A and B are shown apart, each in its own frame.
Chain A
Amino acid sequence: KAGVTQTPRYLIKTRGQQVTLSCSPISGHRSVSWYQQTPGQGLQFLFEYFSETQRNKGNFPGRFSGRQFSNSRSEMNVSTLELGDSALYLCASSTNPSLYEQYFGPGTRLTVT
């Protein structure tokens, strides 16, 4: 069974631009969560989707948004990029939100210049 895939793997953007990252969960998994990882803040939870509905949200500004499609694939969007948004963005999937045995993708490394 294929694992969680994230595209693109690497991305360079400039301040003020917006970016969309994509995540394809493991087949049959309906819950997708997003995380931001930086050297200074560590792993931080962004949001979680299940059956196309956002079920949970971390403490991030409204510039960070996401959505989930009917095939469980998910996207996250960051508008008006700031230098501090440079991070590894990780996506994880599970069969349902009540389980925390999540499977992570390799991440998208975003660099904002």
Chain B
Amino acid sequence: DAKTTQPPSMDCAEGRAANLPCNHSTISGNEYVYWYRQIHSQGPQYIIHGLKNNETNEMASLIITEDRKSSTLILPHATLRDTAVYYCIVRFPTTSGTYKYIFGTGTRLKVLA
């Protein structure tokens, strides 16, 4: 099963890009990478997901390496409200037609004024 590794914490200056890495070196071909974030005392919030192509939405960009062994979540212009714990998640299908989810330990991002 795929496992994910994330740095425990990162700081980023307000207005700068925040680049959050995730290592999923054992990922296989049909396993998606998802990113969520959790602001203190709230439930996690979906950010973005991808399989092998880079993805962008109104919140962030997701860059997945060609070998798919790692990915980077990019918040282009971090604000103080982006301070949160960011989780990298691998979802993979099981033989029974369901899915299993492997959560990273999360990166605590602190955006500094």
A106 to B43, CA, bound (A): 5
Tell me which of A45, A90, A103 contacts B101 (CB under 8 A).
Answer: A45
Task: Name the distance in Å between B27's Cβ and chain A's nearest Cβ.
Answer: 15
Measured as residues with beta carbon below 8 angstroms from the partner, the interface class of chain A is 20 to 34
Task: Name the distance in Å between A78's Cβ and chain B's nearest Cβ.
Answer: 19
Q: Are A101 and B105 in contact (CB under 8 A)?
A: no
Q: Does A95 count as interface, using CB distance less than 8 angstroms?
A: no
The B contact surface, by secondary structure, is strand
Tell me which of B41, B44, B100, B101 contacts A104 (CB under 8 A).
Answer: B44
Residues of A51-81 at the interface with B, using a CB-CB cut-off of 8 Å, are 55-56
Measured as residues with beta carbon below 8 angstroms from the partner, the interface class of chain B is 20 to 34
Q: Are B100 and A55 in contact (CB under 8 A)?
A: no
Task: Name the distance in Å between B89's Cβ and chain A's nearest Cβ.
Answer: 8
The 22 listed contacts between A and B (C-beta, < 8 Å) are A42-B103, A42-B105, A42-B106, A43-B44, A45-B100, A45-B103, A48-B99, A56-B94, A56-B99, A90-B43, A97-B98, A98-B99, A100-B34, A100-B49, A100-B101, A101-B46, A104-B42, A104-B43, A104-B44, A106-B41, A106-B43, A107-B43
